[in-house]
Amino acid sequence: MSQEKKMKLTLPVEEYVGSGNLACQGCGANLALRYILKALGPKTVLCIPACCWAVIDGPFPHSCMSVSIYHCAFETAASTATGVKAGLDMLGDTDMNVVSWAGDGGTLDIGIQALSGAAERNDDIIYVCYDNEAYMNTGIQRSSATPKGAWTTTTPVKFPKVESKKDIDAIMAAHRIPYQATASIAYPEDLYKKMLKAKNIKGTRFFHIFAPCPTGWKSRPEDAVKLARMAVQNCLFPLYEIEHGENLALNIKIQNKKPIDDYLKLQGRFRHLKPADIQSMQEEVDRNWNRILKKAQGC
Amino acid sequence: MSKKKDAAKIIFESEKDVPIMPMSLGSMLFNKTGSWRNIRPEIRTADCIRCGICWKFCPDMSILVEEELPVVDYDFCKGCGICAEECPVKCIEMAEERK
Ligand SMILES: Cc1ncc(C[n+]2csc(CCOP(=O)(O)OP(=O)(O)O)c2C)c(N)n1
Ligand code: SF4
Ligand code: SF4
Ligand SMILES: [Mg+2]
């Protein structure tokens, strides 16, 4: 290896999330924010409701971030961003990226009203939901983003979750917002590119980012990126973008779709599943994937 | 970049020092998360192909790039093992933490 060869860095080197933060080992949400801020840069305000990230940032008067953040109530990620944006506009500071950075509970459950309101008004904010598929900060309770069959403390093995994961992306598409995308920590360049694109669009922009949580999923910390990649490769979490509620475009083409078995096996939260349960999960993944494919073809 | 920020822990001597608005005044660099580790990544740089993948996937910004090679920042590396898992040539090994 020649000494002159450069390290291949596929993302900007600037970091806006600092070390010393309180995320667990291998936290996917930590990676997600790291990538987003590489795209958005220093002129960004994050509105963070109650969630793991409200803790990860660090206790008062400390913060691991080098952008401004505004801690807000659990249900108000979107409305806080709307207010911050309006305030900055009044001050004439119109080129600040105002971002809601919320968990799946804060988005699909308690925050959905504020989010729907902001989207309906087409407020000029970027709403990002990092999806770790449960209420992790309070000790792993089920949310409406928890997949069917998964163990959580409120859906124990004896009383598994019988409801399917809520399709927040379809709900947001129904609001016909200018831009929305799904993204994954396993594909940071794709996430980065889409965030750059969103940065230059006006109106409500929505991101749904798949962010494995080793603590809540009972998986090994070193598997966090691998699990996120598997979820894309087995079409459980397809990566796509939608403009104005239509024109769905797939970002990562899947050549040979893998079964979900290996993905499930790496996670303790699915350990109790019987072959019949896995079969029915696989069928659901296939149904959802076919629906996405149809939309991608404009049917 | 933020690693250049002040790393001292802020402790208020009296109530009067506490700002009226709860706002952040310092970084988290006083919190040396390296102490969380029970396994540590060790990079065999001779085998490194400089692909930057460990740097890209470290959730704790603990792979530094020095002279075009990855270097682990043991002050903050939490020992998650993602770098070793993702390295395409497997030149990062997770070894038992030394005292
Ligand atoms: C109104 C209200 N209800 C409940 C809580 C307690 N609470 C804090 S964080 C949290 C869970 C957040 O889950 P999610 O949004 O998925 O983020 P995560 O912790 O998984 O990152 C809950 C229930 C709260 N802070 N405020
Ligand atoms: S509980 Fe999960 S989401 Fe929360 S900090 Fe830990 S790994 Fe991250
Ligand atoms: S073990 Fe984890 S925290 Fe440590 S350098 Fe590797 S990826 Fe970063
Ligand atoms: Mg969550």
In a domain, A287, yes or no: yes
CATH annotation of B32-96: 3.30.70.20
> In chain A, whose CA is at the least distance from the CA of B79?
A25
C-alpha distance from residue A268 to each of A133, A152, A264, A273, B79 (Å) = 14, 10, 8, 10, 20
Would residue A8 count as lying in a domain? no
What does the pLDDT look like over A40-81, one tens digit per residue? 999 999 999 999 999 999 999 999 999 999 999 999 999 999
Residue A64 belongs to some domain of the structure: yes
- Cβ–ligand 1 distance for A50 under 6 Å, the answer yes
Q: What is the mean pLDDT of residues A223-247?
A: 97
Assess whether pLDDT exceeds 70 at residue A278.
yes
pLDDT of amino acid B21: 86
Domain boundaries, chain B: 32-96
In a domain, A18, yes or no: no
CB contact under 8 A, B2 and A16: yes
* Residue A62 exposed, middle or buried by CB count within 10 Å (0-12, 13-18, 19+): buried
Containing structural domain, residue A253: 28-296
Tell me if A17 is assigned to some domain. no
- Whether the CB of B90 is below 8 Å from some CB of chain A: the reply is no
Residue A170: inside a domain: yes
Q: Chain B contacts of A228, Cβ < 8 Å?
A: none
What pLDDT sits at residue A1?
Answer: 52
ipTM for the assembly: 0.95
Instruction: pLDDT band for A127, please (50, 70, 90 cuts).
Output: very high
pLDDT interval class at A299 (50, 70, 90): low
- Higher per-residue confidence, A289 vs B99: A289
Is A208 within the bounds of a domain?
A: yes
Read off the pLDDT of each residue in B40-54 and give the average, rounded to a whole number: 98
* Cα distance between residue A4 and residue A235, in whole Å: 40
In-domain check, residue A127: yes
A8 — alpha (psi -120 to 50), left (phi > 0) or beta? beta
HSE-CB at A263 with a 13 A cutoff on CA atoms is: 23
Segment B46-61 shows an average pLDDT of 98
- pTM, two decimal places: 0.96
CATH number for the domain including A99? 3.40.50.970
Q: Are A221 and B81 in contact (CB under 8 A)?
A: yes
Give the residue on B whose Cα is nearest the Cα of A63: B27
* pLDDT exceeds cutoff 80 at A244: yes
The first and second tokens of residue A273, run together, are 């599943």
Question: Which ligand has an atom closest to residue A20 CA?
Answer: 3
Cβ distance of A23 and B60 shorter than 8 Å: yes
How many separate domains does chain A show?
1
On the question of pLDDT at B3 being above 70, the answer is no
Q: Is the pLDDT of residue A200 over 50?
A: yes
**Pair A133, A163: CB distance under 8 Å:** no
Q: How much is the pLDDT for B1?
A: 38
Asked if A266 has any chain B CB less than 8 Å from its own CB, the reply is: no
